[in-house]
Amino acid sequence: MIKGIYEAHLPVSNLETSIEFYKKLDLEIAYQQENLVFFWIEKGRSWLGLWETDKVNTPYHPSLRHLALQIDREDMKSIKEWLKKRGITVSTNFGFPPEKQPLVLPNNPQAHAAIYFKDPDGNSLELITPLRIDFEEQFNMMTLEEWEKDNKVEK
């Protein structure tokens, strides 16, 4: 029955500033009105709504102001350079500074590689890709480079 998530929403303080930022992520505007814009994440399948609102002053918490966007595993290796070319700075997350990302999240029985950054309003954005699904293993959070070395993954 359920096929996926069609839409997610984030608060922003200045719609035009946010539009410019999200365009840097190669997202296409799907719909816009005075205080709202929708960007296609995957055209016809999912979109992101940005609302210009004072709710942007709600203190950050991942349950309220966080969005994870899936990318291909191959793209994770070059994602820092891709973000850098767009003037986007990687955030420190889980104690891992930008130079130690992407990192691998041990969500047993899943493992995901992820990298984090913020939009102009401090909303947390994550680019994530599955590494292993339904694979029982225990490990501590580590860099993608360490994970690939431990798992003898060819670069």
Model confidence band, residue 155 (pLDDT cutoffs 50, 70, 90): low
Q: pLDDT tens digit string along 86-144?
A: 999 999 998 999 999 999 998 889 899 999 999 999 999 999 999 998 888 888 899 99
How many Cβ atoms sit within 10 Å of the Cβ of residue 123? 20
- Supply the pLDDT for residue 3: 84
- Supply the pLDDT for residue 15: 98
Q: pLDDT tens digit string along 22-76?
A: 999 999 999 999 999 999 999 999 999 999 999 999 998 888 999 999 999 999 9
- Supply the pLDDT for residue 4: 84
How many Cβ atoms sit within 10 Å of the Cβ of residue 65? 20
Strand partners, 32: 37
pTM of the model: 0.91
Contact criterion met (CB below 8 Å) for 2 and 37: no
Q: Domain ranges in the chain?
A: 1-58, 59-155
Q: How far is 147 from 145, CA to CA, in rounded Å?
A: 5
Instruction: Provide CATH code, domain 1-58.
Output: 3.10.180.10
Q: Top-level CATH class of 59-155?
A: alpha beta
